[in-house]
Structure 1
Amino acid sequence: MARSRPALPPMVGRGLGRASAAARSFGRSWGRVLAPVLATVRPAGWVALVVAVAGLVAGLLLSWREPALVGAAAAVILLLALPWLLGRTRVQVELLLDPQRVVAGNSVAASLRVANPTSGRLRAVLLDLPVGQAIHRYDLPGLAAGARHEETFTIRTERRGVIPVGPATARRADPLGLLSRDATWGGVTEVLVRPAMVPLESLGAGLLRDLEGVTSDAVSESDLAFHALREYVPGDDLRHVHWRSSAKLAGAGMQQLLVRQYLDTRRSHATFVVEDRPDAWGSPDDFETALAAVASLVGRAMLDEIAASLVVGERASNTGAAQSALDTVCRAVPGRTGLVTAAAAAAAAVPETSLLFLLGGTGTDFATFQRAAVSFAPDVRRLAIRVDPGQPSRAAEVGDLTVLHLAELGDLPGVLRWSLG
């Protein structure tokens, strides 16, 4: 039979609990103290530290003079590196990018300005600036009080995406790179790289427009597009009574009021929904072609003063601002959402959509386009763009959905002209 362990007295238990809590607090305190100290040791410094400890221990235990000399030399080198860490590094760092939004293939002129805001002289420091996956390293000279120094460089862009620049890190280190103390200045500034775009004709072709927007077939009791007169029914707003016509009926012996009836108008709003699942695209380049087509269409919408919204997987721009939609193009990445789910989210977020573009690849069949399109109101003009480099570019009307087969980006103006003409 197993014997139960006797319970500890209450006072002993409370004492052990307090001791355990104190030990954990002591460990956390020492961790906060040691973490910045250990962070100053570079890889070469760790090698020198291991050599110093191993050499001195071997020399003392084995009475071996050579390892002791090597260990002592390494320890002296580490001690000589310590003075380089003394002092405070206070600088003002300003990063200028021109332009901050650029089309792939163009360059960005960048300028890094460093100033000494202190009343004393700033010793020479090493400044690291991350640019994308690379690091630009600058040896800054000593700066007098209030002095400034500027470094200029060029950021070259090749593909659509986002290039993070910064934050700048001022590094105070010894000449051998054993120890260093880093201070981070500023934040991350992004360069938004848009895909190459093609010029397009107006997206307003084939759409009825008035001064306030696009008229629909929906009858409204209050709007700007006058439609007809009808008889008054209880509950109608008396502000919409057409008194002149009602007076004519009264003169003819008919005691009946007539009220104005209108057609709904809506602001032109183009919504773009892009398939984000990788298996729906023949290759990653097809996904890039689709995003380049979206960027071209959004750029045209901006010229036409048409609001534009974009949904690519979990990334969305629902404000109607074309500039925001172009930024979303830059940030778009493959995901798992799918075209149908993204279209449902877009329809809920942008109910005022008047022109819809659905974009997919070779793995997106017509049924998927149809299921995505039904999330929107019946009076929305719907177009599907299927990127397929293996087939010639063409356009076809299938029910209320216009399907554009796009082999390459350069064919977009032609097939779009046919579909919106």
Structure 2
Amino acid sequence: MAGSAAAAVGDVLRRVPPVVRRGRERAGELAAPVADRVKPAWATLTPAARSLLVVALVAWVAAARGGWAEMAIVAAGILVLLALAALFMIGHTNLAVKMITEPPRVTVGEPVTGEVEVTNKAKTPLLPVRLELPVGAGGVAFDLPALRPGSVHSELFVVPTQRRGVIQVGPVTTGRGDPIGLFRREVTWTDVTEIFVHPAITPLEPLGAGLIRDLEGNVSEHTSQSDLAFHALREYTPGDDLRHIHWRSSARHGQLLVRQFLDTRRSHIQVIVDADPASYRDPEDFELAISAAASLLVRAIMDGFDATFLCGEHAMTRGTGRSALDSCSRAELTGEALAEVSGRGARLAPDTSLVCFVTGPHAPFTTLKRSASHFPIEVGEIAMIVDSTASASLKAVSDLPLLTLGKLSELPGLLKWGL
């Protein structure tokens, strides 16, 4: 009997949790429609309105339990004030908003203009409303006039491009609220548009020949036993591959002749910019470093080379000139160590033939050597020290060419002697 009673109690206890769980699920299902209706309305309340609601609740409790008639008057006054302010939220804004920015890519200092076009799609007139437009770290606001149904109104704005970077424009929003700031409802009308402000670059002369073989590469002056570019026939020497013997010519001349080829090569230049702010004197030196890197990348791509760019967490490989400049626009001082980024670059582009490290005057030379150690010994390596207070110079330390760049205009001359 005792055993059966214990089993019965255990069975009851096992049944309780599912019942409770089903009750909670049912309550959630019933409360969901109410919550869906309440959440949008609650979101329109400003912090001031929510604070007044708390005060009204406290006053009502004090009036109910303490018999304070004054507290009841305070609670009623707050509720009346909230009700009157809520009247300003009645209605729905029906607009068609179009935002246009041209051009989407510019060089530092070039102008970018934009236009916001608003159309009243409602069947009733639109009362004056404020249009807000974030532009980068700032923003602009327009006070739209009253619009008749179907009327169109346009506003122009200018995007500041004095600094390199990626400027986010938008979204366009309208805000509706009451005069005392108890309610506010924002409506988003457009998406975010990105404006790429490319770094200033300087034209460079064509770069040197590459070091890595490639089927579509440029023919070099170095001979090879096996490649695609046929050069000439020569006498057979012990050790030559028998597959390269040209039998018809050998029979005609009475001796074994083998094919001689020329190497075909395609350069892959990799530019790694130090993203550690401690390496530079000031942010302007970092901007100069990005401009120097962008100039190298554009010239390499124009020469038909593959190009890879890394700066902190940003990376681009085998892209076009536009994508290279876009990557340079996104580059920031993120604090990542140059050696760590170089290791990632070596894995990203294992066929690199030339790597250029760009850093500031405060970067230790040991950091450059650790960065260079990630690449094979046959990869050409140069380091560029950007220092706006120094004069252009070129020297070699431990077989690593060090180029000191003080101004962007000095880059063509430095590369002429450094590459």
Using the size of structure 1 for normalisation, the TM-score is 0.80
Question: CA distance change for structure 1 residues 29 and 71 in 2, over 3 Å: closer, same or farther?
Answer: same
For 1:201, the equivalent position in structure 2 comes to: 204
> In 2, are the aligned partners of 1:45 and 1:178 still within 8 Å (CA)?
yes
Question: CA distance change for structure 1 residues 225 and 327 in 2, over 3 Å: closer, same or farther?
Answer: farther
> In 1, are the aligned partners of 2:217 and 2:264 still within 8 Å (CA)?
no
For 1:250, the equivalent position in structure 2 comes to: 251
Question: CA distance change for structure 1 residues 318 and 229 in 2, over 3 Å: closer, same or farther?
Answer: farther
CA distance in 2 between counterparts of 1:127 and 1:43 reads: 22
For 1:219, the equivalent position in structure 2 comes to: 224
CA distance in 2 between counterparts of 1:374 and 1:215 reads: 27
1:9 partner SS: helix
Deviation string, structure 1 residues 244-287 (Cα, Å, up to 9, x no partner): xx434213444x46334331321x43321112233333444433
CA distance in 2 between counterparts of 1:152 and 1:85 reads: 28
Q: Give matches, 1:233-382, under 5 Å.
A: 233=241, 236=243, 242=246, 246-254=247-255, 256=256, 258-266=258-266, 268-301=267-300, 303-304=302-303, 306-382=305-381
Question: CA distance change for structure 1 residues 204 and 413 in 2, over 3 Å: closer, same or farther?
Answer: closer
For 2:23, the equivalent position in structure 1 comes to: 19
Aligned CA RMSD, in angstroms, stands at 3.6
Is residue 97 of structure 1 aligned with residue 98 of structure 2?
no
CA distance in 2 between counterparts of 1:219 and 1:347 reads: 27
Question: CA distance change for structure 1 residues 259 and 46 in 2, over 3 Å: closer, same or farther?
Answer: same
Question: CA distance change for structure 1 residues 265 and 363 in 2, over 3 Å: closer, same or farther?
Answer: same
> In 2, are the aligned partners of 1:126 and 1:140 still within 8 Å (CA)?
yes
Question: CA distance change for structure 1 residues 132 and 27 in 2, over 3 Å: closer, same or farther?
Answer: farther
CA distance in 2 between counterparts of 1:301 and 1:396 reads: 23
Give the deviation of 1:403 after TM superposition: 1.1
> In 1, are the aligned partners of 2:230 and 2:259 still within 8 Å (CA)?
no
Is residue 77 of structure 1 aligned with residue 81 of structure 2?
yes
CA distance in 1 between counterparts of 2:99 and 2:335 reads: 36
Is residue 149 of structure 1 aligned with residue 153 of structure 2?
yes
Question: CA distance change for structure 1 residues 82 and 38 in 2, over 3 Å: closer, same or farther?
Answer: same
Give, as a single letter, the amino acid of the residue that structure 1 aligns with 2:93. Answer: T
CA distance in 1 between counterparts of 2:234 and 2:340 reads: 42
> In 2, are the aligned partners of 1:104 and 1:157 still within 8 Å (CA)?
yes
Give the deviation of 1:152 after TM superposition: 0.5
1:358 partner SS: strand
> In 1, are the aligned partners of 2:93 and 2:122 still within 8 Å (CA)?
no
Deviation string, structure 1 residues 49-72 (Cα, Å, up to 9, x no partner): 45655666667755545x655654
Instruction: Select the residue among 126, 133, 151 that pairs with 2:130.
Output: 126
1:213 partner SS: strand
CA distance in 1 between counterparts of 2:375 and 2:279 reads: 22
CA distance in 1 between counterparts of 2:232 and 2:401 reads: 29
> In 2, are the aligned partners of 1:53 and 1:71 still within 8 Å (CA)?
yes
Give, as a single letter, the amino acid of the residue that structure 1 aligns with 2:207. Answer: G
For 1:34, the equivalent position in structure 2 comes to: 38
Using the size of structure 2 for normalisation, the TM-score is 0.80
- Structure 2 unaligned regions, length at least 5: 1-8
For 1:3, the equivalent position in structure 2 comes to: none
> In 2, are the aligned partners of 1:207 and 1:214 still within 8 Å (CA)?
no
Question: CA distance change for structure 1 residues 57 and 9 in 2, over 3 Å: closer, same or farther?
Answer: closer
Question: CA distance change for structure 1 residues 70 and 104 in 2, over 3 Å: closer, same or farther?
Answer: farther
Give the deviation of 1:74 after TM superposition: 4.0
For 1:86, the equivalent position in structure 2 comes to: 90
> In 2, are the aligned partners of 1:55 and 1:70 still within 8 Å (CA)?
yes
> In 1, are the aligned partners of 2:132 and 2:172 still within 8 Å (CA)?
yes
> In 1, are the aligned partners of 2:218 and 2:264 still within 8 Å (CA)?
no
For 1:111, the equivalent position in structure 2 comes to: 115
> In 2, are the aligned partners of 1:42 and 1:179 still within 8 Å (CA)?
yes
CA distance in 1 between counterparts of 2:151 and 2:28 reads: 48
2:173 partner SS: strand
Give the deviation of 1:390 after TM superposition: 5.6
> In 2, are the aligned partners of 1:308 and 1:322 still within 8 Å (CA)?
no
Please say which of residues 342-351 and 47-56 is displaced more in the overlay: 47-56
Give the deviation of 1:140 after TM superposition: 2.3
Please say which of residues 128-137 and 99-108 is displaced more in the overlay: 99-108
Aligned length: 403
Instruction: Select the residue among 141, 144, 159 that pairs with 1:140.
Output: 144
For 1:189, the equivalent position in structure 2 comes to: 193
CA distance in 2 between counterparts of 1:148 and 1:292 reads: 43
Give, as a single letter, the amino acid of the residue that structure 2 aligns with 1:259. Answer: R
